[in-house]
Amino acid sequence: MTVTLRPLLSLGLSAALMLPLAAQAAEPEDAIEYRQSALRVMAWQLGPMGDMAQGDIDYDEEEFATRARNLASVAHLPWEGFMEGTLRGDDHTAETDALAKIGDDWSGFEEKQETLKQEVATLARMVDDDEEFSALRRQVGAVGNSCKGCHDDFRAE
Ligand code: HEC
């Protein structure tokens, strides 16, 4: 499994020195709480864009743009929390919907992460390019599908 180096590097620490220590120091329960929180951050940012796309609230260009950029900047965060020993059936005390299948098909799980990251990057780029709301709306749908695409395969009902 991969662990992103960015948080360590931003602390100015040597990744080579810190990575194994950090990986061992994190308790499964903490990693699970971390990733669930990061996933909720994404949902919070996506929510209003989904509501605008569905016409439940009025389209607000500025808010939409801010949400799109926020989502693009956090979409890489949850995944390092899927450490070894943190899935369903592993030896920990946390509640998790992360299926054991993630461990058996890690590359499939990574592909779903990539799809999400690409879709949110596209949305952020479209916002920067001042695209029409009709196009943005469709792209919100594509982002939502990339969430669902992973949940259908790798998250418990
Ligand atoms: C690569 C796979 C994947 C993608 C993509 C994905 N999720 Fe998830 N999501 C999961 C898994 C697995 C869980 C279960 C995590 C757990 O319980 O430990 C989950 C859980 C959640 C949760 C519940 C967190 C909690 O409090 O327990 C929310 C909210 C969520 N995802 C939102 C989203 C949103 C919004 C998107 C798209 C913007 C998204 N997810 C994309 C795999 C994914």
Q: What is the pLDDT of residues 62-78, one digit of tens each?
A: 999 999 999 999 999 99
103-138 confidence digits (pLDDT tens): 999 999 999 999 999 999 999 999 999 999 999 999
Cβ(32) to ligand 1 under 6 A?
A: yes
Looking at the predicted structure, is the pLDDT value of residue 157 above 60?
yes
Residue holding tokens 């992460």?
A: 113
- 133 vs 36: CA distance, rounded Å: 30
Cβ(123) to ligand 1 under 6 A?
A: no
Banded pLDDT at 26 (limits 50, 70, 90)? confident
Q: Which atom of ligand 1 is nearest to the CA of 154?
A: 12
Cβ(112) to ligand 1 under 6 A?
A: yes
8 A C-beta contact, residue 146 and residue 115: yes
Measured between alpha carbons, how far is residue 121 from residues 56, 72, 75, 87, 152 in Å? 24, 6, 9, 28, 22
- Provide the mean pLDDT of the chain: 89
Q: How many residues does the chain have?
A: 157
**Interval between CA 48 and ligand 1 midpoint (Å):** 17
Banded pLDDT at 9 (limits 50, 70, 90)? very low
Sign of the CA dihedral with 107 first, then 112, 115, and 120 last: negative
Residue holding tokens 């009709």?
A: 134
Residues 6+ apart with CB under 8 A from 84: 1, 103
Residues 6+ apart with CB under 8 A from 124: 68, 69, 71, 72
Cβ(86) to ligand 1 under 6 A?
A: no
Residue nearest to atom 29 of ligand 1 (CA): 40
Higher pLDDT, 26 or 10: 26
Residue holding tokens 């971390």?
A: 34
Cβ(67) to ligand 1 under 6 A?
A: no
- 35 vs 32: CA distance, rounded Å: 5
Cβ(148) to ligand 1 under 6 A?
A: no
**Interval between CA 105 and ligand 1 midpoint (Å):** 17
Residue nearest to atom 35 of ligand 1 (CA): 43
